[in-house]
Amino acid sequence: MGKKAERINVLSPLSLRELGAWLKEYPAAVFMAGGSDLIQKYNEHPHAGIPDTVISLSQIDELGRIKRKEQGIEIGACVPMSRILSTGQNIVPRILLDAIARIATPSVRNLATIGGNICMVSPFSDVLVPLVLLEAKLEIRGPASHFWMPLTRFLRTPGRMPLLSSEILASVAIPVIQPDVQVYRKLEVISIPTLSVLTFAAMARIFRNTVTDFRIVYGGLDPLFMRNRELESSVTGRKIPLSLKFREQYEQKTREFIQECDPGFLPDRYHRNSAIRLTRLFLEKVSTYRTD
């Protein structure tokens, strides 16, 4: 990208093969999926340097599919949020559907793709924290590469994808887990001088009054998320209802954990306190879950 382009060359390959051919000819091209972020960025900052060539990924057949697999589902990177909501009701984990349903408006969800939301590597993206909770993996493709990586590795540096400029996110693999108790919340404060956000995603599975799986992921600014597996495993195997004493101890350890996190993670005290409060409420919800 350099000076402001007067005319943008937009290419729309129909297959990954065709994409590879265009990339050889235009190695400096910028990828676009739904365009909801990219177009807004160039509208707001027209002097930031509009690229000469944009490759639209939205017509590539392989990137627009939702596939059922033995261990879960694979969602193509260019599947719009609205289609995940309409066709994924019975196969996509509820916590991800809840997160997608709160994204902006139906018209934004018609454009915005799941891949674009991930590729922003933004603390304000709604799908990231639920996908970390579900332990999603990403399929990456490039002219000379094809591999999978855990989403957690993709999210190491806020605002920057760990990909070569010729590589794309092709799909997201999500193990299908239907938890018995789940919560998704996003609390934002965008004010001067504070820029802060808290995303909270939690799930538990309960079998015969015993907690068999318990996870909480906290989303913040930098790092983008935190998870304490040691604390989580202290709940697994416990009978419900959880005792008040245990819940209070868990809350105290969460307080210490949040306080010890990098100061850039949840810079706002309101969000640090909210993380502890949401944890307490989630423990209460798990504790009062009825299996019969």
Ligand X SMILES: Cc1cc2nc3c(=O)[nH]c(=O)nc-3n(C[C@H](O)[C@H](O)[C@H](O)COP(=O)(O)OP(=O)(O)OC[C@H]3O[C@@H](n4cnc5c(N)ncnc54)[C@H](O)[C@@H]3O)c2cc1C
Count residues binding ligand X (CB under 6 A): 28
Q: Is position 57 an interface residue for ligand X (rule: CB under 6 A)? A: yes
d(CA 237, CA 231): 13
Q: How far is the CB of 4 from ligand X (least distance, A)?
A: 17
Taking CB under 6 A as the criterion, the residue among 11, 23, 29, 31 binding ligand X is 31
Rank residues 126 and 268 by Cβ distance to ligand X and give the closer one.
126
Taking CB under 6 A as the criterion, the residue among 88, 96, 125, 267 binding ligand X is 125
Q: How far is the CB of 77 from ligand X (least distance, A)?
A: 4
Taking CB under 6 A as the criterion, the residue among 34, 51, 88, 220 binding ligand X is 34
- For the purposes of burial, counting CB atoms within 10 Å of the CB of 55, is it exposed (0-12), middle (13-18) or buried (19 or more)? buried
Query: For the CA atoms of 15, 106, 100, 152, what is the dihedral angle to 10 degrees?
Result: 50
Task: Show contacts with ligand X in window 163-202 (CB under 6 A).
Answer: 168-169
Place of tokens 């906290």: 218
Q: Is position 111 an interface residue for ligand X (rule: CB under 6 A)? A: yes
Rank residues 126 and 232 by Cβ distance to ligand X and give the closer one.
126
Taking CB under 6 A as the criterion, the residue among 50, 95, 119, 224 binding ligand X is 119
Rank residues 169 and 226 by Cβ distance to ligand X and give the closer one.
169
Q: Is position 224 an interface residue for ligand X (rule: CB under 6 A)? A: no
Asked if 271 and 187 count as a contact pair (C-beta separation under 8 A), the reply is yes
Rank residues 113 and 182 by Cβ distance to ligand X and give the closer one.
113
Q: Is position 77 an interface residue for ligand X (rule: CB under 6 A)? A: yes
Q: Is position 121 an interface residue for ligand X (rule: CB under 6 A)? A: no
Taking CB under 6 A as the criterion, the residue among 23, 32, 133, 258 binding ligand X is 32
φ and ψ at 107, to 5 degrees? -70, -35
Q: Which residues contribute to the site for ligand X (CB under 6 A)? A: 30-38, 40, 57, 77, 103-104, 108, 111-113, 115-117, 119-120, 124-126, 168-169
